[in-house]
Structure 1
């Protein structure tokens, strides 16, 4: 929704000011189809050549993701913190025997099933289960766990940002591709140098539409979408830091509820539950855990 409003403002101000200042849209409309084919075709072709097939596919999904925005909201972060409380409490009470059934089959777990929004993030669930499972086999040095989790988070972060970097590179190249299209228009104009001045003027104007489109698409469409995608990826990656904080704090011997509170402080400010809200959610989780058969 917000992206749509932004694009309407861009188009309204750019073309509105052009019309108000006496510009004629006819020249742009006439040249637009040919220039778009040249610019979009060349930029998409260059994009495909410079990226692997998985990155190209991820970029397509990334554009949709840029429009949707971050998938992690207030209630999702609260679910994640409650889930970490339930898992760590189960680990503390039942040890490896108590926690392993939930880690081996999260989709069948009575704990994970209560947190469907978190369970839908398969990468995060796998990340959480892997490190809790490591702790069941005496991999409980907090420093080692922290370093290993940091390395995993960094790898995941780099992979997630591949489509963002690819789209940004595409945005950076669009002005130059616009110049290529404009040069072709100039070449076409020079071949018609014997035509009247008004004809040549229209042809030069049409050629310059290529430069205009390249710059507009770069700085007002693809570039902003790439930036929005990068911001969205960054926000959605915070959940890994939250899981890491809770697990490392628990490995350091901190009480489960305190470990979850420390994790809460890693939640983005706009979406972080208050201390009281988290306290209420954890009280509810305690009742649910008490109802689970031993």
Structure 2
């Protein structure tokens, strides 16, 4: 919603201010299709040239994050804490039963209670791989934490590729606008024998290219890149919570303490309250009983 509102505000303020100042939209509207073909087409071509097919698909998909926002909501963090609590409790009481869950998370009764998390393969792999390693006696907390940090860093680096690609396009757009403007000036110079009224409109049309390149760079594509980066980093807190809880588990803290460590290391705006987590965990204990 805020993405749509932001785009609307940009257009209203820029073009509304221009018209209130006495500017005429006729010149812009006449030149806009041709300038957009040159600038937009060149930007898209450069984007395709500098990225492979998988990166292009990934970037197009990530543009939706500008409007959808972060994938993980506060309720999902509470569910993740409950999921980890159940898995840690099973690992402590019955390691053989845990193996059944982490080897087949798609059919696990524990994972199936949290369908949104169960559908996220990266999250499930992170949890299962870490618990599987611990069951194989790879349980040094410091080594596991280092491995998880590197894994999450690599994952985030990959996830941020879309933001970097969009930012590269934004950086190129002003220069492409100048290219279009120069072509417009060349066209104008070829009609230098025309009266001033005609030349004025042609020069105005040429300057639309410069305007369009700068406007798209700093008003649309650049903010898109920033927003995609912010959403990716926000969703990264979900995996950081997993690291905190599972490393606390390797330190052999009680399950309740492990969950509390994860909760307190969650950013405030998505952190579930202590009471909410306590009630959810109590409900799980009652169901198990």
RMSD across aligned C-alpha pairs, in angstroms?
A: 0.8
Asked if structure 2 preserves the Cα contact closer than 8 Å seen for 1:31 and 1:206, the reply is yes
In the alignment, what sits opposite 1:107? 106
**Cα offset, 1:36, TM superposition:** 0.4
In the alignment, what sits opposite 1:251? 250
Structure 1 gap segments, 5+ residues each: none
In the alignment, what sits opposite 1:131? 130
Asked if structure 2 preserves the Cα contact closer than 8 Å seen for 1:86 and 1:289, the reply is no
Is 1:44 aligned to residue 72 of structure 2?
no
Structure 2 gap segments, 5+ residues each: none
**Cα offset, 1:287, TM superposition:** 2.2
Matches within 5 A, 1:215-294: 215-290=214-289
Q: Distance in 2 between matches of 1:208 and 1:57?
A: 33
The C-alpha deviation readout for 1:83-114, integer Å capped at 9, x for no partner, is 0101101101102x120100011010010000
In the alignment, what sits opposite 1:91? 91
Q: Distance in 1 between matches of 2:35 and 2:57?
A: 26
Q: Distance in 2 between matches of 1:91 and 1:61?
A: 37
Give the count of matched residue pairs: 289
Q: Distance in 2 between matches of 1:211 and 1:92?
A: 65
**Cα offset, 1:8, TM superposition:** 1.0
Q: Distance in 2 between matches of 1:287 and 1:99?
A: 20
In the alignment, what sits opposite 1:70? 70
Q: Distance in 2 between matches of 1:174 and 1:214?
A: 5
TM-score (norm 2): 0.98
**Cα offset, 1:19, TM superposition:** 0.7
The C-alpha deviation readout for 1:121-177, integer Å capped at 9, x for no partner, is 111101110010000110111111111111101110111111111111111111111
Runs (4+) of structure 1 exceeding 6 A deviation are none
**Cα offset, 1:288, TM superposition:** 2.9
Q: Distance in 2 between matches of 1:59 and 1:159?
A: 11
